[in-house]
Amino acid sequence: MGHHVICGLYTILSLLLVSSTRLSAGDDGLVRIALKKRPLMEAIYNKQVPKSKVDPVREAVNQVRAQAQRMFTEAAAMEQRLKRQWSHRGIRVNKRVREGYEGIIPLKNYMDAQYYGQIGIGSPPQNFTVIFDTGSANLWVPSAECFFSLACYFHPKYVSRRSITYKENGTPASIHYGKGAIFGFYSQDQVTIGGLVVNNQEFIEATYEPGFTFLAAKFDGILGLGFKEISVEGADPVWYNMVAQGLVKQHVFSFWLNRNANNGEGGEIVFGGSDPKHYKGSHTYTRVTRKAYWQFEMGDFLIGGKSTGICVDGCAAIADSGTSLIAGPIGVIAQINERIGATGVANEECKQVVSGYGQEMIELLKSETPPAQVCSKIGLCAFDGTSGVSAGIERVVGEARTTSVDGMFDATCNACEMAVTWMQSEFVQNHTKEGTLEYVGRLCHNMPSPVGSYVDCRHIDSLQSVSFSIGGRIFELQPEQYILKIGDGFMAQCISGFTALDIPPPVGPLWILGDVFMGAYHTVFDYDKMSVGFADSA
């Protein structure tokens, strides 16, 4: 390894000081060398790193994953004190043919936060554990050419010269996942998944994994199962090649995620069908509305069987196996926090809006003013014809307006819109004006915390259920399903499985149904019918 590092450093110095320099001799006899500044990744690998396209949904997924990572980082520090029967001896590939399907991959469950299974790349196969992620579309693993990232030294690395089926590609690529990112280049080789062998699969050799995101990860890489539309550089996802090469009889794959982290079976992904022993009854299917992520239309969201009024006109939702939690609009998550007694943070803009304009807002709603126009009527938002938008442009004249002022008005407008939604929810239940103002005030003091919302473990049994309306069916989650309990006895910590995510229309409101939801409901992804199906897990 030392020889390779020395050669790598010599190459870097050569690239920086020789190939990118210009010599000039002055009258004083001195030789001056003009140096050019190049981005770090280009300097190291002499390749231009492509810039990722900005996608609001991708940014939303990244944001939620970053929040989940912060939450579980603290919880992971307790791992040594937990009384778990963990085995780190690796995952054996189950090659038995069951129910006529060979693409069955057993998954390992780490703290109900990471589900990963084993694949092989190359011939003979080089084994890696990967997250099977429906929220991305590329396959990547650490490369033998990864010298400058600590994470690469704690995970196995792909060595192309050891594979007789390797084909060079070299196209540079980068992917961002929440707080983490990887940089590298494309290669091509065969990929073994269970009893299936996918030939000529493009994948990314990660040559740079900055930061600590992947350092402590139990998995080595990620295998994306999203649509090609979100694939970096348009590479065909593994699933596409499975279908094209006729490796699966049915063009579906399914997830069973075991939410008992102490159980020997962490879960299972089946390519080409579903395993009947892991679900009860039939699946309820809903149509994919955006061929990028597995996105669909979700109806009403209920707490304790009562509508929150948030998604009565429909919300977009994504079934995302790579996200640990459930993410939803901040206004709804605040309501959930208040109902389950989760820790939160006070929001000053919200408090000011309710104390200064609460009475007026209620009177406007009672006079049947359309809710979307209430905040514009009192001057806190402008009205764009469908909803409230920042009134900063109306309130501040000319070029003197600053970004900080814009941000202030944006926050006030957003706080007003949230308060209106909460008031509507209370009106449905015929609460008094005083009771409504008091309830909204409590919500302002209990906004979701970006580092996680903790719940008293002693009160879980008394908490209310939460429900999602999908495809005409109500999918209910009980407290023990949406509260993550880490540890035992007096050391136990209970974390809300909900985190806040706000995406404005027309893309939002958006929900991300991660492992908390998919653990309760066995999930089928149907590629031919462009639909997602849910059934009770067994």
DSSP line for 341-382: T---B--HHHHHHHHHHHHHHHHHHHTT--HHHHHHHTTSEE
Which of 75, 130, 108 is CA-nearest to residue 258? 108
- Return the beta strands (E) in 395-530 as ranges: 454-455, 466-470, 473-477, 483-486, 493-496, 498-500, 510-513, 521-526
Sign of the alpha-carbon torsion through 60, 62, 64, 67:
negative
Which structure tokens are listed for 266? 């962490």
Q: Give the H/E segment covering residue 219.
A: none
N-terminal to C-terminal alpha carbon distance within the chain:
48
Distances (CA, A) of 409 to 104, 391, 403, 479: 52, 6, 10, 37
Active site residues: 133, 320
Instruction: Enter the DSSP assignment of 46.
Output: S
**Residue 449 DSSP class:** P
What is the C-alpha to C-alpha distance for residues 70 and 469, in angstroms, rounded to an integer? 29
Name the residue with tokens 């939702």: 317
- What tokens were used for 509? 């409101």
Burial 60-72, CB ≥16 within 10 A → b, else e: bbbbbbbbbbbbb
Per-residue H/E/C for 294-350: EEEEECCEEECCEECCCCCCCEEEEECCCCCCEEECHHHHHHHHHHHCCCCECCHHH
Report which of 74, 189, 45, 180 is spatially closest to residue 122, judged by C-alpha positions.
189
